[in-house]
């Protein structure tokens, strides 16, 4: 289950990286959320619903625009200023990544019947040394703890309130791929070691 979630995260990051930096004119999606990620029978992820997306001239890093997107995933800086940047998609991707890590929706009703926002409460779990309480039990059980903690770090950087403090989608994608390659290498070393015994 964790490896499938991790691969989904990499595929979404790859798609957004492509939109931001590999097209002739950058495209900001503006509505990245779990319901806009389609999965096929092999759990391959496809980013969907480009109805709110925006082409951005190459010479611009931000555009002023009417605020669109789903509130639970919306970059707070974009919401407050109306200035859309590539970091707005990074924030939304970070929320989806938190959902993959925790198995929770971006906003949920807790046991005291209060609404909780995942990107707002998650940092307190990281800083308070009680991260395991919010991570999905299946993720913890099936994943490599070092790898999970590295993905937690990526997600935490993506949902920082200030866009300037967030990585680009290219950096996010590179970090996740490096983690994935590291995992494959460790797995191969483990299998080689066991085959020698």
Q: What are the pLDDT digits (tens) for 93-147?
A: 999 999 999 999 998 877 777 888 999 999 999 998 899 999 999 999 999 999 9
pLDDT of residue 183: 58
Highest mean pLDDT among 21-25, 169-173, 176-180: 169-173
CB 74 within 8 Å of CB 67: yes
Give the Cβ contact number of residue 150 at 10 Å: 17
**Does residue 31 have an active-site annotation?**
yes
Distance CA 187, CA 193 (A): 10
Contact 54, 67 (CB under 8 A): no
Contact, 167 vs 135, CB < 8 A? no
Pair 12, 96: CB distance under 8 Å: yes
Digit-coded pLDDT (tens) for 32-88: 999 999 999 999 999 998 767 766 665 555 666 667 677 889 999 988 888 888 999
The domains of the chain are located at 2-192
Fold (topology level) of 2-192? Transferase(Phosphotransferase); domain 1 (1.10.510)
Of 31, 89, 136, 175, the catalytic one is 31
Residues 6+ apart with CB under 8 A from 193: none
Q: Which pLDDT score, from 0 to 100, does residue 50 have?
A: 77
């Amino acid at each position: 289950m964790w490896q499938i979630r991790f691969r989904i995260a990499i595929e979404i990051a790859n798609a957004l990286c492509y939109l931001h930096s590999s097209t002739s004119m950058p495209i900001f999606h503006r509505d990245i959320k779990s319901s806009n990620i389609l999965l096929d029978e092999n759990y391959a992820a496809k980013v969907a619903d480009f109805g709110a997306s925006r082409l951005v001239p190459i010479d611009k890093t931000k555009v002023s625009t009417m605020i669109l997107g789903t509130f639970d995933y919306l970059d707070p800086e974009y919401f407050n200023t109306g200035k859309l940047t590539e970091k707005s998609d990074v924030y939304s991707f970070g929320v989806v990544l938190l959902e993959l890590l925790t198995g929770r929706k971006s906003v949920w009703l807790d046991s005291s019947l209060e609404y909780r926002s995942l990107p707002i409460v998650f940092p307190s779990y990281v800083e308070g040394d009680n991260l395991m309480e919010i991570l999905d039990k299946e993720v913890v059980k099936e994943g490599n703890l070092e790898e999970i903690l590295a993905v937690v770090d990526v997600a935490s950087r993506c949902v920082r309130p200030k866009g300037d403090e967030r990585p680009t989608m290219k950096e996010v994608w590179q970090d996740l791929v490096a983690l994935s390659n590291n995992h494959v290498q460790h797995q191969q070393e483990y299998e080689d070691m066991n085959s020698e015994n």
